[in-house]
Chain A
Amino acid sequence: MNNLPFGLPPRAGLGLKTEHFREVLGSQPDIGFFEVHAENYMVAGGPFHHYLGLIREQYPLSLHGVGLSIGAEGPLDSQHLKRLGALIERYQPQSFSEHLAWSSHGPVFLNDLLPLAYDTATLSRVCEHIDHVQSTLKRPMLLENPATYLAFERSTIDEADFISEVIRRTGCGLLLDVNNVYVSSINHQRDPLAYIDALPLHAVGEIHLAGFAEDIDSLGDRLLIDDHGAPIDHAVWTLYQHVLQRTGPIATLIERDNQLPAFSVLHAEAHQADELLLHARGRS
């Protein structure tokens, strides 16, 4: 159940791409919500704000950050937090989310979501940073589980337990990225169902679904890359159904950032998710 104060509707949503601004406004598709990357809208004016303003008048909005670096060893970037606050003030999104990852080290921004060593020191730091975000933005945030490619010898806490403890201590919600669950479970030889069942599913405020790319590592084993550049894999749809059985209907984003297809293709994936959400509603 979604107990966040300004929750997204339990429908399928799409990432809003600049290529689709005009089509969305022109055809007003039946989409539950749109999600944007916060950093793309940290500009003074012009078409991005023009179109987002018009689309926001007609659809619920999820603001998804990719640059706050919540897992960084150093303090949060207060300027960046201020920019996020201004966007939230302007667009009043139903949800704000960020990642369990780091992307900045000191002044250097690495433009990727990098993995964390899960130990008590990281746990305290991540919780402090989330407390800082939530008190500055005056709203709860959702934290997204990561897709990772390697692990740290230093880690002493299981990822699902780490996330559960962060949620318990900070009161933030969970953005459950089912593709990330699958990608990480293959890459780390984990059981994705056991991982999901170990998460605090009562705190899920949004679900992400996406496609991955496939590589092989030095042993010739499958190595999955979270590239948001392909249709959602069958295995991810199956996991998604498992999640919905546990959570009931939850706002679900179809993420596609690369190899962008026509809007109609994304709309069809959203429709597929909506059908499953409808089923979940019937059951709950």
Chain B
Amino acid sequence: MSTQAAFAAALLDPRLNCPEGLFSANGADPASRFAVYRNNVQSSLINALAHSYPVVVQLVGDEFFRAMAGVYLLGNVPQSPLIKDYGHDFADFIQSFEPAGSVPYLADVARLERLRTLAYHAADAQPLNQEQISAALADPQTLSELTVELHPSLNLLTSAFAVVSIWATHQQDATLVGIDLEHGQHALILRNALDVEVFVIEPGASAFVRNLQNGQPLIQAIESAPAFDLSQTLALLISHNAITHLHHNKVSP
């Protein structure tokens, strides 16, 4: 094994001994010095996860979170120097992490936090203004072929839990009192100018937005979604700068 291979392996697995061939100038046990590196690696990665999932930390407490993150770390070493992406699949891990089973909504809160991070760093795109959108929607000739392009930061999350309410209360007083936890919610996450915003929308509205994201023309996206309040949903998308392009695509035969 090369020097760095042995060093890397021992950094990541605390059960392994300090690598051979190391020494301290004062004769101290090299293991006590190696421990600094091991601690730096482990704690920096756990801190990175805590930074990305602050509400998950609040929900389970710091001690539990760090233990859970330590288990995640053992099976999921970073594969990229872009540490912001570390833990992109942490929600899936939480879902199957049995000790967290008593907090059944934890994985969905992690999913919401991940989508917020993605929205924060997503590509920039200039939104259309209300007048441009109104003009396009007012033309019955082209309306049936109109497709809607949404902001790159926009994402949806469907949860069997009141994921948005749980997340939102942890931006303030962090009390779950009064929240019907098992009341499922459909979340819409986007970045409006510089701020990431989270909304609860109707199930039909979520299906409609998903249809638009999949490239369905506007009319088809409406018709193939369960009933929802179209004007309210369009008003939300327009007023939060979510629509970036309208295309008059001729549907190919």
Residues of A whose CB lies within 8 Å of any CB of B are 39-40, 42-50, 66-69, 72-73, 77, 80, 102-105, 107-112, 114-115, 117, 149-154, 187-190, 215, 217-219, 221, 223, 225
Contact = CB atoms under 8 A, between A and B. Distances in A.
A111 B34 contact: no
Contacts of A221: 26, 28
Contacts of B79: 107-109
A46 B121 contact: yes
A108 B13 CA distance: 13
B230 interface: no
A73 B2 contact: yes
A67 B81 contact: yes
Given A44-B122, A45-B122, A77 B24 contact: no
A64 B153 CA distance: 28
A50 B124 CA distance: 9
B33 A150 contact: yes
B120 interface: yes
A153 B40 CA distance: 23
B191 interface: yes
A112 B27 contact: no
Contact of A217 (B21, B26, B37, B84): B26
A260 B40 CA distance: 18
A82 B123 CA distance: 18
Nearest to B29: A218
For the complex of A and B, the 5 pairs showing the least CB-CB separation, nearest first, are: A67-B81, A45-B124, A43-B121, A150-B33, A218-B32
A117 B22 CA distance: 9
A45 B7 CA distance: 36
A153 B22 contact: yes
A50 B194 contact: yes
A102 B3 CA distance: 12
B33 A48 contact: no
Interface in B1-25: 2-5, 7-8, 11-12, 21-25
Nearest to A117: B3
Contact of B121 (A45, A77, A103, A225): A45
Contacts of B4: 72-73, 102, 105, 114
B70 interface: no
Contacts of B122: 44-46
Contact of A225 (B23, B36, B82): B36
B252 to A, nearest CB: 31
Given A73-B2, A150-B33, A109 B81 contact: yes
* Residue in B5, B31, B78 whose Cβ sees the most chain A Cβ within 10 Å: B78
Contacts of B127: none
A67 B48 CA distance: 15
A80 B239 CA distance: 38
Nearest to B153: A46
* Residue in B12, B80, B124 whose Cβ sees the most chain A Cβ within 10 Å: B80
B44 interface: yes
Contacts of A217: 24, 26, 28-29, 32-33
B13 to A, nearest CB: 12
Nearest to B79: A107
* Residue in A48, A49, A110 whose Cβ sees the most chain B Cβ within 10 Å: A110
B152 interface: yes
Given A153-B23, A219-B28, A221-B26, A108 B78 contact: yes
B14 to A, nearest CB: 14
B44 A152 contact: no
Given A104-B81, A187-B24, A223-B33, 17 more contacts: A39-B81, A44-B124, A45-B124, A46-B191, A46-B194, A47-B194, A50-B194, A68-B81, A73-B3, A108-B12, A109-B80, A111-B44, A111-B78, A115-B37, A190-B25, A219-B26, A219-B29
Contacts of A110: 8, 11-12, 41, 77-78
A109 B78 contact: yes
Contacts of B78: 108-111
Contacts of A225: 36
B22 A151 contact: yes
B148 interface: no
Nearest to A227: B40
Contact of A218 (B5, B22, B28, B84): B28
Contacts of B3: 73, 117, 152, 154
Contacts of A189: 25-26
